[in-house]
Structure 1
């Protein structure tokens, strides 16, 4: 019975992380957490079509900024993967990061960078936040808890009509 309770707590942590990230960062459209591959994918919507050259420049600037941030903060910042899909006048930007070096501070840095890069073109939902400091601590704690578990779990969460929806994408 103890093992089942521990498994439930780990699944609960991953679900709580997805919800916390979506509530804390209204600029994030969707969050995928894949504990099997130890990755987190953040999806952003930009209200314009990105060119290939624009994306290359963005990737270079973001990776360079992350290296500098890691150096100044004396933390090991994992390399990120950037992908995108254009859908008419809308671009879906995906930022994939390994879970092992991901912290709330790194997430916050990436989101601020994206906001500074795209400004009002970055689609964002209006959310009233209560206590950012407490939420940041919760996100860091949840990230730490998930780094040590061995669950084969894949969750996706997104916003729809002022609600956060989370689904388990387990392979059956």
Structure 2
């Protein structure tokens, strides 16, 4: 018999979502879930210091691509924001997206945009490559967990990141 309560199941789904995103997309350095604002914050790392014009180009390209994607789906995202900070010779780029309109395909789009735009300077944690079948399973899991988190009642702030080949998740 399973004695888990609804809140525990919601937390499990939120944790699973963050883990699945980090496993599927090694380009995502860390991810935060803010249940109060109902947003996910994806952090990508650029090896070097990006200029203001490079950041503005990335921001314009990313935001317009996400908006076009959603217009094709007849949806309007509530929050699309790109911010950055420089630390120790690296540029940390954070994309904030509302969970309500976020879908797995958009996450794939964001990652591909970063791959193309900052190419060789995108910091990734390359571990053992997932085979195509595993990638599809991770994508399906992400879509399922996103749907579950959209209907959530959980209010725990979560923070997940990579550390030497492991994915760590903390309740903030």
Contact map agreement 1:36 1:150 (CA 8 A) in 2: no
2:99 corresponds in structure 1 to: 99
Q: Is the 8 A contact 1:66 1:77 kept in 2?
A: no
Tell me the TM-score normalised to structure 1 length: 0.91
Q: Say yes or no: does 1:76 pair with 2:75.
A: yes
User: Structure 1 unaligned runs (5+)?
Assistant: none
Deviation at 1:70, TM superposition (A): 2.4
In 1, Cα distance between the equivalents of 2:123 and 2:31?
Answer: 15
1:13–1:142 contact (8 Å) kept in structure 2: yes
**Structure 2: how far apart are the matches of 1:88 and 1:161?**
19
Q: Provide Cα deviations, 1:89-136, integer angstroms capped at 9, x if missing partner.
A: 210000110000011100100110011000010000113224111111
Moved more, 92-101 or 127-136: 127-136
Q: Scaled by the length of structure 2, what TM-score is found?
A: 0.91
Residue 35 of structure 1 is matched in structure 2 by 35
Unaligned runs of 5+ in 2: none
Rounded to whole Å, the distance in 1 between the matches of 2:42 and 2:136 is: 21
**Residue 158 of structure 1: SS of its match in structure 2?**
strand
1:147 aligns with 2:150: yes
- Aligned Cα root-mean-square deviation (Å): 1.6
Q: Which segment drifts farther, 48-57 or 74-83?
A: 74-83
> Which has the larger displacement, 127-136 or 100-109?
127-136
Q: Secondary structure at the match of 1:108?
A: helix
Aligned residues: 167
